[in-house]
Amino acid sequence: MNPLSLIVRVGCDIFAWFMLVFGTNVIIHGYMSPGGGFQGGAIAATFIVFLLVAYGSRRVHSWVNEGIYDVLFDELGLLSFIILAFLGLPTSFFFNYLATPLGVASPWFTPGAGTIFFMSIAVGIEVTGALSLVILNMHRGIRLFSESPMEEELGHDR
């Protein structure tokens, strides 16, 4: 799990942020274009994969506060998803109470899709946090089970 060379690090710096923005775009436009919460979340989770590949596990684990992924991403996404589902309970579970039919202007600032828009964002947040945490935990598990503890992480270029 050593950091790679300078060229790879610069390339991953650029493309990691690009993938984050692209995943957010897929999540937000999930109701009207191909994609959605799961797909966009999986794309946005490649951000941490890029950082892990380029910089090595030790440095990335010193940067990342996993409580943010755990609490803010995973639980916020899941809880808002379930709360959005329960809010339609006067009619039925998962009732789309904000939806407007085609051609009718929606009364709120929401798009006509209603709760589909918000649920897509909530599931996107949840999948981003969950997949990032899975990758971080498994990567730390590799370091845990490796035979020699890597004290010095030396790159190819130094």
Partner 1 sequence: MKKTLFVAAAIIIGGLLIGALDMVHPFGNPGAAPMDNYYLENSLKELSTENIVTSIVFDYRGFDTLGEAAVLFTALCSITVLFREGRKK
**Smallest distance from partner 1 to CB 3, Å:** 22
Of 90, 138, 149, 158, the one binding partner 1 (CB under 8 A) is 138
C-alpha triplet 18, 12, 131: angle, nearest 5°: 70
Rule CB under 8 A: is residue 23 a binding residue for partner 1? Answer: no
Of 5, 33, 65, 146, the one binding partner 1 (CB under 8 A) is 33
Rule CB under 8 A: is residue 141 a binding residue for partner 1? Answer: yes
For residue 151, give the DSSP letter: -
Per-residue contact string for residues 66-105; x = within reach of partner 1 by CB under 8 A: --------x---x--xx--x-------xx-x--xxxxx--
Contact 157, 6 (CB under 8 A): yes
Rule CB under 8 A: is residue 44 a binding residue for partner 1? Answer: no
Contact 57, 135 (CB under 8 A): no
Instruction: Count CA atoms closer than 13 A to 98's CA, side-chain side.
Output: 15
Rule CB under 8 A: is residue 3 a binding residue for partner 1? Answer: no
Q: How far is CA 118 from CA 26, 36, 56, 74, 124, in A?
A: 13, 11, 35, 15, 10
Rule CB under 8 A: is residue 56 a binding residue for partner 1? Answer: no
Q: Is 128 exposed, middle or buried (0-12, 13-18, 19+ CB in 10 A)?
A: buried
Of 7, 34, 63, 107, the one binding partner 1 (CB under 8 A) is 34
Rule CB under 8 A: is residue 25 a binding residue for partner 1? Answer: no
Query: Is residue 60 helix, strand or coil?
Result: helix
Give the binding site for partner 1 (CB under 8 A): 30-38, 74, 78, 81-82, 85, 93-94, 96, 99-103, 111-116, 119-120, 123, 126-127, 130, 133-134, 137-138, 140-141, 144
